[in-house]
Amino acid sequence: MTSQIVDVPPPPPPPSSDNVEPHGDRPQDIEEEKIDPVPPVRQDAFGDEEFAEVKYKVLKWWQGGLLMVAETISLGILSLPAAVAKLGLAPAIVILLVMGLFASYTGYVIGQFKWRYPHITSMADAGEVLMGRFGRELLGFGQLLFLVFLMASHVLTFSVAMNTLTDHATCSILFGIVGMILSFLLSLPRTLEKMSWLSLVFENPKALIEPTVETSLVTAFTSASNIILSFASHNTFFTFIAELRDPKDFTKSLALLQIIDISLYLTAAVVIYCYAGKDVVAPALGSASPLVSKIAYGVALPTIIIAGVINSHVASKAIYLRIFAGTDRIHKRDMVAVSSWIAIALVLWILAWIIATAIPVFSNLLALITALFASWFTFGLPGAFWLYMNQGLWFSSPRKVFLTVLNTISIGIGIILCGLGLYASGSAIHDDPSSRSFSCANNA
């Protein structure tokens, strides 16, 4: 998408923080020519919406926060108890807390990047800032694939839920198609709406609890990847910020998200594992008694669907804005605008269904998603964003040195998650006897 250049005053500096210093406030001992000047201000994709038919920049900070909660928590919370069982309670809690805090920081860096470059509405725009045309295409394609894989995981979870509710009354492929169609219909609105999030009910208080367990590299890394994916909604942050009434309110939205998800993850992971024990399955709702499993899946179904719809919305909007860049089509409700949005959403959901049917094991699919995408969008790229914003200032003060090391470590985490994660998830998919593609078998 090509953003329009407009002749407007430079933006005010982002909210004061220890992470980013305005380009105009540089130490005298830094050579000026080594630091890129602030680029001209570019208009965001939505432009002036005063007289628009369809308005996008209307979200309040708490609405944006709840949307992020809905998009993040449903799949994450369903995978955590099984990850705890395979890692042991103590290591799992450490990973959950450390990665949660780290994800909070990298999310804030994404907010800073948006404040510095207000025209950004997607990872593709961010990629263009970092690496020009190549970066735009690379990150745009990567974000789209990530979102489609997440949509696939929701289709898969829907089929698991329906198999549980109906005692496998029909072919799992058919349940996947039903989930795809339902999700597609709910994806038709073009603006973000308030969603709800998931609650769980479990029983079985006599389960065996193990602080640590013996495990293999593949099992341990697959389980750790599922925990990390619980915090991996960063690829949608630029879109959420772009639709806020005030982009600087993103800090409050992020705080709401992280407080809720870390608290719920910790509670659900510990409580469900303590009640269900080492044999807890993924998705975790299947570990309850048959009756409670059906009740829980019935309650969870709306959130399972809605969270997938949010991912679909972000993916569809990235394509939609790319197609109609520089026109007023995005603000219209005519036949071309509506039919284009419908066609984009339909194609994305068909692709998601194909992926869900090809990789029908919940935990393995999540581990693959983490390795391929979450490693970069949650850790690797935010580290690169910070280094880019602070080029020439990396060693200008003790604080900057610390933050330079921290963000370099963030990039390193992304590389390790990608490399080892691909090996672990590939091995798990290959070795799992239930990984039969396009099968009617019960996947509950």
Tens of pLDDT, residues 14-59: 444 444 444 444 444 433 334 344 555 566 667 666 667 777 777 8
How far is residue 424's CA from residue 435's CA, in Å, rounded to a whole number?
15
- Asked if residue 3 belongs to a domain, the reply is no
How far is residue 285's CA from residue 325's CA, in Å, rounded to a whole number?
43
Q: How many CB atoms lie within 10 A of CB 356?
A: 27
- Asked if residue 246 belongs to a domain, the reply is yes
Q: Which residue has the tokens 């390790």?
A: 416
Q: In which residue ranges of the chain is pLDDT below 50?
A: 1-10, 12-37, 193-209
Cα 419 → chain centroid:
19
pLDDT of residue 31: 38
- Asked if residue 217 belongs to a domain, the reply is yes
pLDDT of residue 289: 67
pLDDT of residue 284: 62
- Residues in the chain, overall count: 444
Tens of pLDDT, residues 324-335: 877 778 878 889
Q: How many CB atoms lie within 10 A of CB 409?
A: 13
Phi first, then psi: what are they for 56, rounded to 5°?
Answer: -105, -40
pLDDT of residue 213: 61
- Asked if residue 436 belongs to a domain, the reply is no
For the chain, counts of helices (H) and of strands (E): 12, 0
pTM of the model: 0.78
- Asked if residue 387 belongs to a domain, the reply is yes
pLDDT of residue 18: 47
pLDDT of residue 397: 93
Q: How many domains does the chain have?
A: 1
Question: What residues make up the domain containing 406?
Answer: 53-431
Q: Which residue has the tokens 């038709």?
A: 188
Read off the DSSP letter of residue 231.
T
Beta-bridge partners for 329: none
- Asked if residue 332 belongs to a domain, the reply is yes
Contact 237, 111 (CB under 8 A): yes
CATH number at residue 168: 1.20.1740.10
Read off the DSSP letter of residue 204.
-
- Asked if residue 92 belongs to a domain, the reply is yes
